[in-house]
A and B are shown apart, each in its own frame.
Chain A
Amino acid sequence: SQQGEEDPQALSIQEGENATMNCSYKTSINNLQWYRQNSGRGLVHLILIRSNEREKHSGRLRVTLDTSKKSSSLLITASRAADTASYFCATFGANSKLTFGKGITLSVRP
């Protein structure tokens, strides 16, 4: 069953702008992860944030986690055309499984 729900479902921005994607989930988690999927390809792990962390950075990525609201956000700064992809949040819980959201389609216009 799906746990994460991302919004928006689709996002189109101009190159150089920032992209913010949100994810909400329902049950308690051990950590939350964000993945990227280029069309017709496998998933690439972007960043992991633990339940006791509130914010994490990795290069142009910034992820936040609010466990009280059961939500997370992924910010991509200074977006590039190569960032065009689908982005998924996934929660890792006590069942030791990753549960994925529906995904967000990001289009970055050159």
Chain B
Amino acid sequence: GAVVSQHPSWVICKSGTSVKIECRSLDFQATTMFWYRQFPKQSLMLMATSNEGSKATYEQGVEKDKFLINHASLTLSTLTVTSAHPEDSSFYICSSFSGLALHTQYFGPGTRLTVL
């Protein structure tokens, strides 16, 4: 199946700092990538849809200035959590469609963000 990687796998930062999370499609081109966040023992909540070469589409209630998304190439999307606060601590997961399997999303391994 298609492979999606994320970096870093975990990060600890101080409150007020910004953190960048990378999502890469390793063996396919991803024109669209999805960013989710997941709180402990809860479901995945879609934050935004990242489109290569254009602005991301954010879900209702997600602050676009807080969670900056850049999809500059067909294999890389980045999520930057700006001025992070403890309530931003969560598990962030990206995914994409590979095009080979219609409607099936391939997920990255996730990034655990802890804001102190």
- Which A residues fall within an 8 A CB radius of B? 2, 30-31, 33, 35, 40-45, 48, 88, 92, 97-103, 105
Among the listed B1, B44, B46, B104, which residue makes an inter-chain contact with A33, where contact means beta carbons less than 8 Å apart?
Answer: B104
Is chain B's interface secondary structure helix, strand, loop, or mixed overall? Answer: strand
> Are A44 and B107 touching (Cβ within 8 A)?
yes
> Are B43 and A103 touching (Cβ within 8 A)?
yes
For the A-B complex with A41-B109, A45-B1 known, give 19 more contacts whose Cβ atoms are closer than 8 Å: A30-B103, A35-B107, A40-B112, A42-B6, A42-B108, A42-B110, A43-B44, A44-B107, A45-B101, A45-B106, A45-B107, A92-B103, A97-B46, A98-B34, A98-B105, A99-B46, A100-B45, A102-B43, A105-B41
Given A97-B46, A102-B42, CB of A42 within 8 Å of CB of B104 = no
Among the listed B6, B44, B101, which residue makes an inter-chain contact with A100, where contact means beta carbons less than 8 Å apart?
Answer: B44
> Are B43 and A48 touching (Cβ within 8 A)?
no
Which chain B positions have C-beta within 8 A of A102?
42-43
Given A2-B43, A100-B43, CB of A40 within 8 Å of CB of B103 = no
Which chain A positions have C-beta within 8 A of B95?
43
A41 to B5, CA, bound (A): 12
